[in-house]
Amino acid sequence: MATAPTSEAILAGTGAPARSGGRSRLAAHLPRFVLYAVLTLFCLYYLLPLYVMLSNSLKPLSEITAGGMMALPGEWTTAPWSAAWSSAQVGVEATGLRPYFVNSILMVVPAVALSTIAGALNGYVLTKWRFRGATLVFGLLLFGCFIPFQMVLIPMARMLGLMGLAGSVPGLVFVHFVYGIGFSTLYFRNYYAAFPTELVRAAQIDGAGFFRIFWRILLPSSGPIAVVCIIWQFTNIWNDFLFGASFSDFDSQPMTVALNNLVQSSTGVKEYNVHFAGAIMAALPTLFVYAVAGRFFVRGLMAGSVKG
C-alpha cells in the first residue's frame, strides 16, 4: 500500500537541506575568516616599522625631508647603506659600522658557544651525577637569571679591571658568558631531567667515564634544546646595549653601541636614511638566525616543555 511522502522527502525534493547546509558551512567558516582578517591586520601593523625603515633607507634624504616617509622611493639608491657601513661619522672618526659589526661577531660567537657548553655540562651534572647540595646549586644558578643588569655593573667592572679585560672584546665575552650560564643551565637541566638514567648507568658499568658519557650519549640527543639555547643567547647578546656601553672602549664597541653613536653624532640635519640603514644592519643577524632556525626553536621549546 502506498504511503504519503514525509516532510523530509518533500524538503529533499525541493533542495531545502542543500541551502541549509550551505548556510551552515558559511557560518562555520565565518569565525575563521574573521580570525585570519584580524591576524592579517595585526601582522601588517607589526611590519609597518620595518617597511618604513627599509623604504627610507633606499631613498635620498631630500625625499624624506619633503614629507615622503611613507611613500616608496622615487629614486632608489644604496648610498645610505654604504655611508652607514663604511663612511658614516661615528664618534670622531669616519669608520662606519663595519669594524663594530666584526666586534659583535667576535663577541657573540665565543660567548654563545661557551655558555651553551657550560649549560649542557651543568645540566648533565645536576641530573645524572647528583650530589649533596645539587638543588641549592641549581637554585643559585636560577636566581642569577633574575638579577637585573644594573646590579652587576660595578662588581663586574671591578672584576674585569682585576683580570685585565676592561675595555676589550674578551672582557665582553666573559661578561656574557657568565651572565648566560644561568639560562643555559635551566634549559639543559630541564631537558636532561627526563633522559633515561638507565642509559647512563649502563654506560658506567661498561667503563665509560664522565666526559665519554656526555659526548657519546647525552650531547648527540641535545639538538632541540641546544638550538633553543643558541638562539636565545645569540639574540640577547647581539642586542645588548648596557654591557657594551659599560665595559667597552671605542675600539671594542659592539654594533648596538656604534649604532647609537652613529645616530647621536649627526649634527644639523639628521640623516634618517643612513640611520635606518644602520638599524637594519644591526638587526639583520638576528633576523637571519630566526629565519633559518625559527622552526627548530619552536620545536625545541616544545620538547623542553614536555620533557622538563
What's the CATH code of the domain at 194?
Answer: 1.10.3720.10
Cβ–Cβ < 8 Å for 138, 218: no
- Of 52, 80, 108, the one marking the end of a domain is 80
Residue 13 has pLDDT above 60, yes or no: no
The values of phi and psi at residue 184, to 5°, are -65, -35
Q: With respect to residue 1, please indicate whether it lies within any of the assigned structural domains.
A: no
Residues 255 and 283: their CA atoms lie apart, in Å, by 10
Same domain, 32 and 115: no
Summarised one tens digit per residue, pLDDT across range 249-283 is 888 999 999 998 888 776 667 788 889 999 999 99
Structural domain of 174: 83-307
Q: With respect to residue 38, please indicate whether it lies within any of the assigned structural domains.
A: yes
Same domain, 65 and 189: no
Residue 163 has pLDDT above 60, yes or no: yes
Residue 299 has pLDDT above 90, yes or no: no
- Of 80, 109, 125, the one marking the end of a domain is 80
Same domain, 269 and 282: yes
Summarised one tens digit per residue, pLDDT across range 96-121 is 899 999 999 999 999 999 999 999 99
Q: Rounded mean pLDDT of 6-34? A: 59
Least confident interval from 24-28, 45-49, 122-126, 270-274: 24-28
Residue 297 has pLDDT above 80, yes or no: no
Q: With respect to residue 239, please indicate whether it lies within any of the assigned structural domains.
A: yes
Cβ–Cβ < 8 Å for 106, 277: no
Question: What pLDDT is recorded for position 304?
Answer: 53
Same domain, 121 and 17: no
pTM of the model: 0.80
| pLDDT band for position 230 (cuts 50, 70, 90) | very high
Domain tally, the chain: 2
- Of 45, 80, 115, the one marking the end of a domain is 80
Q: Rounded mean pLDDT of 229-240? A: 92
Question: What pLDDT is recorded for position 26?
Answer: 58
HSE-CB of 69 using CA atoms within 13 angstroms:
11
Q: With respect to residue 2, please indicate whether it lies within any of the assigned structural domains.
A: no
Q: With respect to residue 131, please indicate whether it lies within any of the assigned structural domains.
A: yes
